[in-house]
Structure 1
């Protein structure tokens, strides 16, 4: 009898918990419609105990049967989901209410649109993508191959761009066809291609430290950890061997994430040994045009690439981008447009990415910079989220 009473108590407790749906109010303070911005809710913010499983909940619009796609993330790797993510559409200067409800029998779908992984079959890349853009960078085996003069290696901590023109995942497909010899990701057959040169440059968002006018940077990453892949976000951590900046030992790791609908990856740099960093955009053969707006917090570079054009960009939160350096040199791949960023509590945050003319709505430099300006404004005026518990 005691056993049955105990089970009844558990069922009653769970029913009471699930029946008290949380009401989420999301407010847009800007006079523009907003979408593709991710709301993050922790258990504490939702008023849930640690025992509650976030993956058992869904997000529903109030007064409708519309369920939003959502994702749960285990940020600390303990096997327990820490954060619930969703992306609301909010009209200009307005607010909308949502319910957090039990996920059973909902109509929400779980399509994988944001993806990343370590790629040991192509030396040891780490690659990531969403429905708009794709990137990769390089690991220790690729570095060792260069140092041992073995062909096929890559020595850089710069960020490579894969110019995709489709909204579905292409990373696995492109690697498979290249490695199997059935095709090549260097040729565009309708989905896009890799024709972006990184070399020793910073690519799109790699960092450096300036010491007495010279830029120093790490070699390839030495370890990686995937945190999440899903419909809304992919994120991972890259760690680098300590490196030297004119006598200063630099310790560096990167938490990189890419959300659905965004052309820019988020970089959270954890770094010791410097009070500032320089995040770079490669200038390639210096035939493009830079754009800068320190007050709004963005830099851009618009350039020709083969038979098309590409806009690269960097956006930083308010008052963290202090200046820029249009660094030009005759040394191969070392010309970069640098954004100088403050390091606070051993951390710096910025966003970096690109818009390819063939694979995005940005057909001119002005259109690309309008996107960066709007992105910066939204970063500095985030959606206001309130939970009624």
Structure 2
């Protein structure tokens, strides 16, 4: 009898200890996301650095789940490995926060909970089937720029060439991914993506201009620009954010070595450009810009808030393009009007800090349903400027 009682006591003790351990492992961590602005926000947030290492201490990354506090509604996650060493450097999730309010989330470590999947996504890739474009998109917008083979074709007078470091816009009116489809159909029928088949099209002419977000150096009333990118690196493709890098051969009399890390979040109209510059002497008037095409559109310059826009009609439909950055980084901004085709740009002259610069460049097309006129576009640009100046405040508690 004593042996039986002893055995039962040991079993209960083991069960009790196991329960404590299980509860400790699955103890939730609180994430508080605060919005100080007067409009609701739905944005991609990241957990990185010390916050992430503390969070994962003693836990498996693959077991991590995030849900809205007090619900069973789990959110889509994405891990980013910037240096491609197999260890995640950043955790992404999408937060929704009402105006002047706070939303709470919970992190739990439970690999038995199914991860939610997203029906919409971000995407980017190198496109060797169209010479060597690099294209990127999300549920609202799409972009592309051009590589060394496209440049060489122009220099050798061969077909399918493009010589520019400007940023091209693909006007889409679907939240589904279109890059692979449009390039695939273009192989069957050249010019396919220049015609709207119900999902949008590419009517945007870049040429020697900056497109929307290309860079340059303004000196002696002229704009010096690089040629096409010479190499690329895809860092992350996923449901919440795509990240990649483009490098450029030394250009201008300053022998500028330029690397552009470009990212695009789900739900955003703006690509984020993180520019790293390597030069041997002081660099004046580093610029970014927007093509003015045939100089028939409308320019607005808002140095105080740090946003700059062009509004035009293409095929009778409104298109708004814009650049947003910290106003403290702006030296000047003006419309540089030229009689030469594709040489007119709205230029924003900046002063990078420690040879680094961050700005956001993007657009909205009337047929996408996001804007109806230039006033709507100005509102989006103003909101983006406020978002940059007032990031959502993330607080993590309970991970120690």
TM-score by length of 2: 0.90
* Distance in 2 (alpha carbons) for counterparts of 1:311 and 1:29: 27
CA contact (8 A) 1:90 1:96 kept: yes
Q: Does 1:155 align with 2:163?
A: yes
The answer to whether the aligner puts 1:100 opposite 2:101 as a matched pair is no
Gaps of 5+ in 2: 1-17
- Quick check: 1:81 aligned with 2:98? no
- Kindly indicate whether the alpha-carbon contact (under 8 Å) linking 1:39 and 1:85 is maintained by their aligned counterparts in 2: yes
Is 1:296 aligned with 2:305?
yes
2:272 pairs, out of 254, 258, 266, with: 266
Match of 1:249 in 2: 255
1: distance between equivalents of 2:49 and 2:23?
17
Whole-Å Cα distance in 1 between the matches of residues 346 and 353 of structure 2? Answer: 22
For 2:356 and 2:58, how far apart are their aligned partners in 1?
31
Root mean square deviation, CA, Å: 1.9
Q: Which residue of 1 aligns with 2:366?
A: 357
How many residues were matched structurally?
A: 376
Within 5 A, what are the aligned runs for 1:210-229? 210-229=218-237
Q: Secondary structure at the match of 1:89?
A: strand
Closer/same/farther in 2, CA of residues 345 and 20 from structure 1, 3 Å limit: farther
1:310 maps to 2:316: no
Q: Classify 1:14/1:137 alpha carbon distance in 2 versus 1 (closer, same or farther; 3 Å).
A: farther
Secondary structure of the residue aligned to 2:96 is coil
Per-residue CA deviations over 1:173-230 (Å, capped at 9, x if unaligned) read: 0000010228701110100001100001100100011122211111000000111111
Are the equivalent residues in 2 in contact too, given 1:54–1:83 (CA < 8 A)? Answer: no
Q: Once structures 1 and 2 are overlaid, which stretch shifts more, 175-184 or 357-366?
A: 175-184
Check whether the contact 1:143–1:155 (CA below 8 A) recurs between aligned residues: yes
Contact 1:291-1:301 at 8 Å conserved across structures: yes
Q: Distance in 1 between the 2:260 and 2:24 partners?
A: 38
- CA–CA distance in 1 between the matches of 2:301 and 2:366? 20
What is the match of residue 168 of structure 1?
Answer: 176
Further displaced range: 269-278 or 61-70: 269-278
Q: Which runs of 5+ in 1 are unaligned?
A: 1-10
Task: Report what 1:385 is aligned to.
Answer: 394
Give the structure with the higher percent helix: 2
